[in-house]
A and B are shown apart, each in its own frame.
Chain A
Amino acid sequence: MSLGARTAGAIVAALVMLGIGAASRAPWTASPADLALLRLSWRVQSETAEECRPLTEEEKADLPVHMQVPELCEARAIPYLLQVTIDGSEAVSDTVHGAGARADRPITIFREIPLTADRHDIRITFAPISGGRADGSVDAEETDDVVEEPDDDLEETDDVVEEPDDDLEETDEDGEPDEDDEAEEPAGVRLEYSATIDLEEHEVALVTVDPGGRTLVRAGAP
């Protein structure tokens, strides 16, 4: 093989190596400079409502004696409404259900909303949809069936942002708090967040439940 071919071979090898080196660190602008993000992330225990009706005589007759209960009760999970308003315009309005085939597992919220790096008015509400109403208000008659009521005084729920009843914290059989629920918000709670925030470029504003599990807060905010 000639010296020229060897030299050319060495040059080609060097160029290939340079190509590998350059391609292993190609510059990429992953996010535009003026981009920021609103991130919502929390988890609440789903709420169930129980509907009961008396068994008919025929139904009772079809059942064994020991199963002839006076009422037949069916539990259904109550959905929540998540509403996010940014600078006066509605960005999100979603009905969310609990996880699991029967929707009775905890409700997990994880949303990311791109924003410009600027000042924004943020309003977030997360409330159970009771009696088919999506505004978080509760129908007194229908709430009679709600198993885990957030507050005895249901008339006040429109005005109270978060006032859960401590007695409603779920416990294990031994009376200890259920660790699976991560001490998060008990069922039936209406959560709200309202603030004006200044977002720098590439900043992520994380809104989550506070450590006490009673309200929405911005994590890491000064």
Chain B
Amino acid sequence: MGIRLRTLNRSAWRPLSAVDAALNRLYGWRFNPLYQSGALAVVLLGVVSLTGLYLLLYYRIGAPWESVERISAQTWSGRWIRGLHRYASDAALVAVGVHALRMFAQGRSWGPRALAWISGVLLTGLVLLCGWTGYVMVWDVQAQALAVVGARMLDALPLFGEPISRTFVGDAPMPGQFFFLNLFLHIAVPVGMGIVLWVHVAKVARPTLIPPRGVWMGAVLALLALSILWPVEMAPRADLLRLPGEVPLDLFYAIWLPAVRALPGWAALASLVALSALVLSVPFWTRPRADRRPPPSQVDDRLCTGCVQCSLDCPYEAIAMIARADGRADLLAHVDPALCVSCGICSGSCAPMGVGPPGRTGRDQLADLRAVLSHTPPMPGQIVVLACDRGCGDPSSGWAPPGARVHPVPCAGNLHSSIVEQWLRAGAAGVLVLACPPRDCWNREGPSWAGERLFREREAELHRRVDKSRVRLAYANRRERATGDAELERFRVELAALDRIDAAGPVDPIRECDPVLEAVE
């Protein structure tokens, strides 16, 4: 089962990483919209809310289709605002889908992350419900089809004494109460989404809800251009005494409609329930077997100095500082196993190497490195590449650049800075840490903390005695071996320059300046 699930995860991850790599080439990893899918969805739903406020001013429950038609006739405002409302909601659903696929492909759906997955599915359901009610508000032919199918599904529930479908019989005009209820849901559901969003990010530290400005502004401007150049047209008005014929279907929110419309109400409802159960149970059936689950981090009480850095760095707020019981004045780090995802970020944050998942603490990393160096030390002038094993360091990727030695690590954020120092001491010409792009990190913040620790004095920082010009941090995903090669080549050139300077010996300022002074005189 576990093997099949890994295959399923990987079969989703491979095409995704290929598309990631392609977009990295076009936009750079900082502005790759696929890396920002979750935050982009939040921003787009914000755009939907803002544009919805304007539309609400003109919408009339007594004349829904006519009022929307009037909005669409406002050339300078209503037309493009309605278009932006529609297109932003479509794009938000795409972003939600990419975000969910990424989490699934990276196996970030079980254990402590299960709450985020389940709340994410609920959020998606609310987005779809909001879209459903939004389309019904227009009361065109698509709305008619959606409303009738929805009523049939409700009728399959043994809750109503009288079929809800009779509301759409056509013997009388649709009651205003129906459109009022629909409008109420369309407004109330987003409020509920805010609460579920809070739950969604409750277990992560520093959630990213706003993507970089270039990403969200680019997305909004592109959608705005689309809504101006290709405004949303009015479909024919709903007529309950006529079957809808040619319907402009929104594939994002109603792709299921043709299939479900052909089913009996109970079958449609059963399909919805089955699909929901399948998606909601992903945390259950994607979790590895108990004996294969990575263990949570542990704290060595004797080594913990109570510096709080591991608690600050933990991306999942799984580490709390508690009072020590052994009489020492300082605090003690405490890992909550229910929150720890075994990302190992804390291993790289602890200067005395007293915390981390078993077998992956700083001390374990040093022991492993000594074992490696004892039989295969780096060749003189060789560059060592410490690459994330989910990126270019993936052993199955077969990346073996000439003149360099690739050493996979679980995550750049796991890497203790002492490991870098030890490689240089062992004779490596330089160490290239090749991390996954920051927003693509399976452990959320690994590349960010790696950069801070190597170059910006964040605990546990790279020691000052280490020549930082012989250390380089770069980003590449699994399919960007060309990027890895390019970074390696650039680093090699810089190291060669450094070697030439070193070979020239120490600089004597007087000897260097005298010829110049003589020339001046």
- A and B associate in one complex: yes
A residues whose Cβ falls under 8 Å from a Cβ of B? 1, 5, 8-9, 12-14, 16-18, 20-21, 23-31, 33, 35-37, 39, 41, 43, 99-100, 105-106, 108, 110, 201-204, 206, 208, 219-220
Segment with Cβ contacts to A, from B106-114, B238-246, B340-348: B238-246
Q: In the assembled complex, which residues on chain A have CB atoms less than 8 Å from the CB atom of B141?
A: 30
Instruction: Choose one: B26, B161, B245; the contact of A29 (CB below 8 Å).
Output: B245
A13-B222, A30-B261, A220-B241 as given contacts; A25 in contact with B162, CB under 8 Å: no
A36-B243, A202-B242, A220-B241 as given contacts; A24 in contact with B225, CB under 8 Å: no
The answer to whether A23 and B250 touch across the interface, beta carbons within 8 angstroms, is: yes
Q: How far is the CA of A95 from the CA of B23 in the complex (A)?
A: 62
- Measured CB to CB, the nearest residue on chain A to B144 is A30
Chain A CB within 10 Å, residue with most, of B87, B248, B251, B257: B251
A5-B26, A23-B90 as given contacts; A28 in contact with B222, CB under 8 Å: no
The answer to whether B87 and A20 touch across the interface, beta carbons within 8 angstroms, is: yes
The answer to whether A30 and B245 touch across the interface, beta carbons within 8 angstroms, is: yes
The answer to whether B226 and A20 touch across the interface, beta carbons within 8 angstroms, is: yes
Overall SS of chain A's interface: mixed
Q: How far is the CA of A12 from the CA of B23 in the complex (A)?
A: 9
Tell me the chain B residues, 226-261 only, with Cβ under 8 Å from chain A.
226, 230, 232-233, 240-252, 257-258, 261
Q: In the assembled complex, which residues on chain B have CB atoms less than 8 Å from the CB atom of A23?
A: 90, 250-252
Instruction: Choose one: A18, A20, A108; the contact of B166 (CB below 8 Å).
Output: A108
| A to B CB contacts below 8 Å, 9 in the list | A17-B87, A20-B90, A25-B248, A30-B245, A31-B244, A36-B243, A108-B162, A202-B244, A204-B170
Given A23-B252, A30-B243, 7 other A-B residues pairs in contact with their CB atoms under 8 A: A12-B23, A17-B225, A25-B248, A26-B249, A27-B249, A108-B161, A110-B163
The answer to whether A202 and B249 touch across the interface, beta carbons within 8 angstroms, is: no
The answer to whether A24 and B87 touch across the interface, beta carbons within 8 angstroms, is: yes
The answer to whether A28 and B247 touch across the interface, beta carbons within 8 angstroms, is: yes
Q: How far is the CA of A124 from the CA of B139 in the complex (A)?
A: 32
Q: Would you give the 0/1 interface string for B141-171, flagging 1 where the beta carbon is closer than 8 Å to chain A?
A: 1000100000000000000011101100111
Number of interface residues of B (CB under 8 A): 44
Q: Does B280 contact A (CB under 8 A)?
A: no
Q: How far is the CA of A106 from the CA of B258 in the complex (A)?
A: 33
Q: How far is the CA of A25 from the CA of B253 in the complex (A)?
A: 11
Q: In the assembled complex, which residues on chain A have CB atoms less than 8 Å from the CB atom of B26?
A: 5, 8-9, 12
Q: In the assembled complex, which residues on chain B have CB atoms less than 8 Å from the CB atom of A41?
A: 166, 169, 171
Q: In the assembled complex, which residues on chain B have CB atoms less than 8 Å from the CB atom of A204?
A: 170, 240-243
The answer to whether B244 and A208 touch across the interface, beta carbons within 8 angstroms, is: no
The answer to whether B245 and A33 touch across the interface, beta carbons within 8 angstroms, is: yes
Q: In the assembled complex, which residues on chain A have CB atoms less than 8 Å from the CB atom of B161?
A: 99-100, 105, 108
Q: How far is the CA of A39 from the CA of B145 in the complex (A)?
A: 16
A9-B26, A23-B251 as given contacts; A110 in contact with B243, CB under 8 Å: no
The answer to whether B251 and A26 touch across the interface, beta carbons within 8 angstroms, is: yes
The answer to whether B247 and A30 touch across the interface, beta carbons within 8 angstroms, is: yes
Q: In the assembled complex, which residues on chain B have CB atoms less than 8 Å from the CB atom of A18?
A: 226, 230
Q: Does B91 contact A (CB under 8 A)?
A: yes
Q: In the assembled complex, which residues on chain A have CB atoms less than 8 Å from the CB atom of B218?
A: 13
The answer to whether A28 and B248 touch across the interface, beta carbons within 8 angstroms, is: yes
Q: Does B27 contact A (CB under 8 A)?
A: yes
Q: How far is the CA of A39 from the CA of B86 in the complex (A)?
A: 33
Q: Does B352 contact A (CB under 8 A)?
A: no
- Measured CB to CB, the nearest residue on chain B to A112 is B165
Q: How far is the CA of A158 from the CA of B223 in the complex (A)?
A: 68
Q: How far is the CA of A25 from the CA of B255 in the complex (A)?
A: 11
Q: How far is the CA of A37 from the CA of B239 in the complex (A)?
A: 13
Q: In the assembled complex, which residues on chain A have CB atoms less than 8 Å from the CB atom of B16?
A: none
- Measured CB to CB, the nearest residue on chain A to B223 is A17
A25-B250, A26-B251, A100-B161 as given contacts; A31 in contact with B225, CB under 8 Å: no
Determine how close the nearest CB of chain B comes to the CB of A43; give it in whole angstroms. Answer: 7
Q: How far is the CA of A29 from the CA of B142 in the complex (A)?
A: 11
Q: In the assembled complex, which residues on chain A have CB atoms less than 8 Å from the CB atom of B257?
A: 28
Instruction: Choose one: A25, A26, A203; the contact of B242 (CB below 8 Å).
Output: A203
Q: In the assembled complex, which residues on chain A have CB atoms less than 8 Å from the CB atom of B246?
A: 27-30
Q: In the assembled complex, which residues on chain A have CB atoms less than 8 Å from the CB atom of B163?
A: 108, 110
Instruction: Choose one: B28, B242, B249; the contact of A1 (CB below 8 Å).
Output: B28
The answer to whether A208 and B169 touch across the interface, beta carbons within 8 angstroms, is: yes
Determine how close the nearest CB of chain A comes to the CB of B94; give it in whole angstroms. Answer: 7
Q: In the assembled complex, which residues on chain A have CB atoms less than 8 Å from the CB atom of B230?
A: 18, 21
- Measured CB to CB, the nearest residue on chain B to A209 is B171
Q: In the assembled complex, which residues on chain B have CB atoms less than 8 Å from the CB atom of A17?
A: 87, 222-223, 225-226
Q: Does B293 contact A (CB under 8 A)?
A: no
- Measured CB to CB, the nearest residue on chain B to A117 is B243
Determine how close the nearest CB of chain B comes to the CB of A131; give it in whole angstroms. Answer: 27
The answer to whether B162 and A202 touch across the interface, beta carbons within 8 angstroms, is: no
Q: Does B25 contact A (CB under 8 A)?
A: yes
Determine how close the nearest CB of chain A comes to the CB of B326; give it in whole angstroms. Answer: 55
Q: How far is the CA of A108 from the CA of B170 in the complex (A)?
A: 16
Q: In the assembled complex, which residues on chain A have CB atoms less than 8 Å from the CB atom of B87?
A: 17, 20-21, 24
The answer to whether B222 and A39 touch across the interface, beta carbons within 8 angstroms, is: no
Q: How far is the CA of A14 from the CA of B223 in the complex (A)?
A: 10
The 10 A-B pairs with the shortest beta carbon distances in the complex, nearest first, are A9-B26, A28-B249, A25-B248, A31-B243, A99-B161, A202-B243, A30-B244, A23-B251, A41-B169, A17-B226
The answer to whether B90 and A24 touch across the interface, beta carbons within 8 angstroms, is: yes
Q: In the assembled complex, which residues on chain B have CB atoms less than 8 Å from the CB atom of A220?
A: 170-171, 241
Q: In the assembled complex, which residues on chain A have CB atoms less than 8 Å from the CB atom of B91?
A: 20
The answer to whether A31 and B245 touch across the interface, beta carbons within 8 angstroms, is: yes
Q: How far is the CA of A20 from the CA of B241 in the complex (A)?
A: 32
